[in-house]
Amino acid sequence: MKIILGLTLALLSLGASAQSRLGRPTAGTFQQLAELTGSQQYELVSGGAAISGNTLVIGAPVANSPDGCIECGAAYVYTAVDGDWTNLILTATLTQSAGQSVGGFGAAVAISGDTIIVGGADATSGQGAAYIYTNPSGNSTEDAELTVSGGQGVGAVSGVAIDGDTVVIGIPVVSIGRNEQQGSAYVYVEPSGGWTSTTQTAQLLPSDGGGNFYFGTSVSISGRYIVVGAPDGTPLGGVSEQGLAYLFVEPAPGWSGIWGQTTEFKASDGTGDAAFGLSVSVSENVLVVGAPGQTIDSKQREGASYIFARPTTGWPKNMTETAELTESDGKPADAFGISVAISNKTVIAGAYLRHNRQGAAYIFGESSGGWQSTSSAEAIAAPDGAADNYFGRPVAIGGGVLAVCANGWPDGGNTGDGYGAVYVFGSSR
């Protein structure tokens, strides 16, 4: 089933010829269930995607908003009817009440239950901000705006995450003291009366942060755990700018004040400019960190993804990977790990520059003995893919359903600057 975004709040049924083109199952466990495509320039060029239950959220930071604001950004909420992901309807289009052209609204999205968060920037101050929507429908503006106090929030929000009543946002270009563009992450806890416009409850900072760390480029949350990536960070005694990731554990009193990390993660084989931490995702006691610039067997920027599982003795102060995930037939500049997501012992990692930038994504499952280093994975790609489609950035996973964005669809901009597409895959088992 293919859904054209321009038909607002409607499902478009296709003729048999179109269904046969899109309906070919991928080899292996996962098969394509749906394809969402833009009907105008940049409409589904996605900055982020997220899945919760039967809901898929897609951020489009340079889309035109329904009120005609040019390139002000939007986020789209799709619902799988009765849990059927071949039958998706567009139930809400989210915008910023004070929209601004190229303001970054939609560059990052997250969802937990019926609450959606969208990253952007305040139209008045220009500072990074995030916007809360609770059970939205139709054309909706925010229920609350989350901002940063103390004048630190200058710069775009790069990552957002939510789990239950806790939100985390990352602003990687924030200067901390004399450290320019060190970056910072901010935590918000929902008040007892529900979400209202507010400033942060807590601030997260790395104890060894430095200039140009870009800490906060990526963020993820699961229960009491928050993970933040710093893709240009340099480990003490390590390779320059190989990248770092940090785990923050919620303290017993709850999130408040300024907190340093519980654990600092790095790759044992990290190379310079690996961009380790450009993407992160955590689920319960396991996290995955993407390093799309990692050199593998002399193949520069092939990329890798790293698994970190909580030891039985608890999280240590410093940790290298439990397992390393790579491509079995990787090529230089594939950028494997540009995006990652983990859920229920399954990892998906995008390689958006593979095959002349057509792109691919790889699915890994935890073995019976726990996570092991491997290059054995199920590869998925767009059946209608073409060069410069950039399939694989971003990706999302939830409840056995995968969403993979292809921002250069349909032809990489050869006849127009990309409309964008999102592919939905589900398990055939």
Of 3-17, 67-81, 402-416, highest mean pLDDT: 67-81
Average confidence (pLDDT) over 255-262 = 97
Of 26-35, 116-125, 345-354, highest mean pLDDT: 345-354
Confidence at 320, pLDDT banded by 50, 70, 90? very high
* Single-letter amino acid, residue 55: T
Name the one residue in this structure whose structure tokens are 């009543």. 165
Confidence at 10, pLDDT banded by 50, 70, 90? very low
Average confidence (pLDDT) over 82-98 = 96
| pTM over 0.95, yes/no | no
- In the chain, pLDDT over 70 holds for what percent of residues? 91
* Model pLDDT, residue 418: 79
Q: Model confidence over 19-54: pLDDT tens digits?
A: 222 223 334 689 999 999 988 888 999 999 999 999
Q: Could you tell me where the beta strands, DSSP code E, fall in 83-165?
A: 88-95, 109-112, 115-121, 128-134, 138-141, 144-147, 159-163
Strands 225-230 and 218-222: antiparallel
| Tokens (6 digits) for 189 | 């806890």
Q: Is residue 193 part of a domain?
A: yes
Q: Is residue 24 part of a domain?
A: no
Q: Is residue 259 part of a domain?
A: yes
User: For the chain, what is the domain count?
Assistant: 1
Q: How far apart are CA 127 and CA 277, in angstroms?
A: 23
The region of weakest confidence among 61-75, 134-148, 354-368 is: 61-75
Question: Between 10 and 182, whose confidence is greater?
Answer: 182
Confidence at 126, pLDDT banded by 50, 70, 90? confident
Strands 286-291 and 304-309: antiparallel
Q: Is residue 54 part of a domain?
A: yes
* Model pLDDT, residue 68: 84
* Model pLDDT, residue 429: 57
**H-run or E-run covering 356:** helix 354-357
**H-run or E-run covering 354:** helix 354-357
- Is the bond preceding residue 394 a cis peptide, omega within 30 degrees? yes
Confidence at 65, pLDDT banded by 50, 70, 90? confident
* Model pLDDT, residue 417: 66
Beta bridge partners, 129, equal 120
pLDDT at 363 over 50: yes
Q: Is residue 21 part of a domain?
A: no
Q: How far apart are CA 369 and CA 337, in angstroms?
A: 24
Question: Between 11 and 81, whose confidence is greater?
Answer: 81
Confidence at 14, pLDDT banded by 50, 70, 90? very low
Q: Model confidence over 274-306: pLDDT tens digits?
A: 999 999 999 999 999 999 999 999 999 999 999
The region of weakest confidence among 99-103, 201-205, 323-327, 399-403 is: 99-103
Q: Is residue 163 part of a domain?
A: yes
pLDDT at 343 over 90: yes
Of 58-67, 143-152, 262-271, highest mean pLDDT: 262-271
The region of weakest confidence among 72-81, 348-357, 396-405, 413-422 is: 413-422
Q: Is residue 16 part of a domain?
A: no
CATH code for position 105: 2.130.10.130
Q: Is residue 23 part of a domain?
A: no
Print the domain residue range for 258.
2-9+30-427
Name the one residue in this structure whose structure tokens are 């990892």. 347
Mean pLDDT for the chain overall: 90
Confidence at 15, pLDDT banded by 50, 70, 90? very low
Please say whether the dihedral angle defined by the alpha carbons of residues 356, 408, 397 and 16, taken in this order, is positive or negative: negative
Question: Between 261 and 177, whose confidence is greater?
Answer: 261
DSSP string, 179-215: BTT--EEEEEE--TT---SEE-SEEE--TT--TT--T
* Model pLDDT, residue 314: 97
